[in-house]
């Protein structure tokens, strides 16, 4: 019997520390090789089983987020086969390259599994390429079209500041502007990184192949990256996903907070975080 008690879930932001586009399948999906981590900032959800699905979107980033069947949380309830009353408290910017919608949908699937005692039905990738990795949010290497997930051993403590300059970048447009879809993958085996500085140094040998086309489509992303790279505490600055959110890695939370305080611009979303 499904319980009608509300289940609370946290939907963390997903950050692509690297994102190599390594090919394109005949069905048009792009092949990726990406190092994914999760932040301690995210959306908050309350999910209760119900006779029909209803979504209400609240919170500081609710503006413009659909509260109907277009919302991925609604699609997640449909996928699970369990109508639900969902309150989505939105803190993450939408269409921002940090997987907000996918992480929300994964949180609904976890909540419904808990409420019903049933397991999450297979085929969650149909809800989005980022969805499978968001189901058990932990550092992982993502390959294929997002379905090949290799969890990584615990990472060293890494901190970052996330910066979104308030422009929405549509993922399909970024892929369409990509010059080549056939780029080299990351190294076949990943090392263990003893600390954030070593990880950042290693990441310098990796890329986000979507960064150049996104910067062309939204030049303000280039401005964000330039400002982040000028900060003395910044170990490495890069864009996440298809943008526009960028991150600067630091060795301590205090350093991430120092950059955040210095870089704040009205209209920009600036958030110090710890990554796991
Ligand atoms: P990714 O990193 O997977 O590309 P993203 O951060 O770029 O994700 P989302 O935040 O998932 O993108 O939003 C993409 C679009 O999906 C938005 O423009 C919005 O209209 C729609 N959308 C559907 N469900 C949600 C949701 N739960 N939260 C935010 N946007 C949603």
Residue 211 included in any domain: yes
**pLDDT of res. 217:** 97
Pair 135, 91 in one domain:
yes
> In terms of residue numbers, what domain contains 231?
154-275
Residue 1 included in any domain: no
Residue 255 included in any domain: yes
Residue 128 included in any domain: yes
Residue 100 included in any domain: yes
Pair 20, 143 in one domain:
yes
How much is the pTM? 0.96
Place of tokens 């379905």: 147
Atom of ligand 1 nearest to the CA of 128: 3
> Which of 117, 148, 179 finishes a domain?
148
CA angle 72, 76, 78 (to 5 degrees): 115
Pair 237, 168 in one domain:
yes
27 is catalytic: no
Residue 197 included in any domain: yes
Pair 141, 220 in one domain:
no
Show the ligand 1 pocket: residues with CB < 6 angstroms: 65-66, 70-73, 88, 94-102, 104, 130, 171, 241-242
Pair 13, 135 in one domain:
yes
Q: Identify which of 239, 229, 225, 248 has the alpha carbon closest to the alpha carbon of residue 34.
A: 239
> Which of 148, 168, 198 finishes a domain?
148
Pair 28, 144 in one domain:
yes
> Which of 127, 148, 169 finishes a domain?
148
Pair 12, 132 in one domain:
yes
Question: Cα(127) to centroid of ligand 1, in Å?
Answer: 11
What distance in Å separates the CA atoms of residue 271 and residue 163, rounded to the nearest whole number? 7
Pair 53, 75 in one domain:
yes
Q: pLDDT per position in the chain (276 positions), as tens?
A: 566 899 999 999 999 999 999 999 999 999 999 999 999 999 999 999 999 999 999 999 999 999 999 999 999 999 999 999 999 999 999 999 999 999 999 999 999 999 999 999 999 999 998 999 999 999 999 999 999 999 998 899 899 999 999 999 999 999 999 999 999 999 889 999 999 999 999 999 999 999 999 999 999 999 999 999 999 999 999 999 999 999 999 999 999 999 999 998 999 999 999 999
173 is catalytic: no
Given the residues 33, 130, 209, 223, select the one marked as catalytic: 130
Please state, in angstroms and as integers, the Cα–Cα distance from residue 48 to each residue in 108, 219, 233, 244, following that order: 10, 42, 44, 33
Residue 103 included in any domain: yes
Pair 110, 227 in one domain:
no
Residue 23 included in any domain: yes
CB 265 within 8 A of CB 167: no
Pair 198, 128 in one domain:
no
CATH number at residue 103: 3.30.230.10
Q: Specify the number of domains making up the chain.
A: 2
CATH number at residue 175: 3.30.70.890
Pair 177, 253 in one domain:
yes
**pLDDT of res. 4:** 80
**Of the residues 46, 92, 94, which should be mutated to test ligand 1's pocket, given the most ligand atoms within 8 Å of the CB?**
94
Pair 134, 163 in one domain:
no
Query: Which residue puts its alpha carbon closest to atom 25 of ligand 1?
Result: 101
């Amino acid at each position: 019997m499904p319980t009608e008690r509300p289940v609370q879930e946290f939907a963390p932001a997903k950050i692509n520390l690297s994102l190599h586009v390594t090919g394109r399948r005949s069905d048009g999906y792009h092949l990726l090789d990406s190092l994914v981590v999760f932040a301690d900032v995210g959306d908050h959800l309350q999910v209760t089983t119900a006779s029909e699905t209803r979504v209400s979107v609240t919170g500081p980033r609710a503006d413009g987020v659909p509260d109907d069947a277009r919302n991925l949380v609604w699609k997640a309830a449909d996928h699970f086969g369990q109508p639900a009353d969902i309150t989505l408290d939105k803190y993450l910017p939408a269409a921002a390259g940090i997987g907000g919608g996918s992480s929300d949908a994964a949180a609904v699937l976890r909540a419904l599994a808990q409420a019903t005692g049933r397991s999450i039905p297979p085929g969650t990738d149909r809800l989005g390429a980022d969805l499978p990795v968001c189901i058990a949010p932990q550092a992982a290497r993502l390959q294929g079209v997002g379905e090949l997930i290799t969890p990584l051993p615990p990472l060293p403590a890494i901190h970052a500041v996330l910066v979104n300059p308030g422009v929405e970048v549509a993922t399909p447009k970024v892929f369409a502007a990509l010059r080549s879809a056939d780029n080299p993958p990351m190294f076949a085996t990943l090392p263990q990184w003893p600390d954030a500085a070593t990880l950042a140094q290693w990441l310098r040998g990796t890329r986000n192949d979507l960064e150049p086309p996104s910067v062309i489509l939204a030049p303000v992303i280039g401005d964000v990256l330039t400002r982040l790279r000028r900060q003395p505490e910044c170990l490495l600055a890069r864009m996440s996903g298809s943008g526009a959110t960028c991150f600067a890695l630091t060795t301590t939370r205090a350093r991430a907070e120092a950059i955040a305080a210095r870089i704040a611009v009205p209209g920009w979303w600036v958030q110090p975080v710890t990554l796991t």
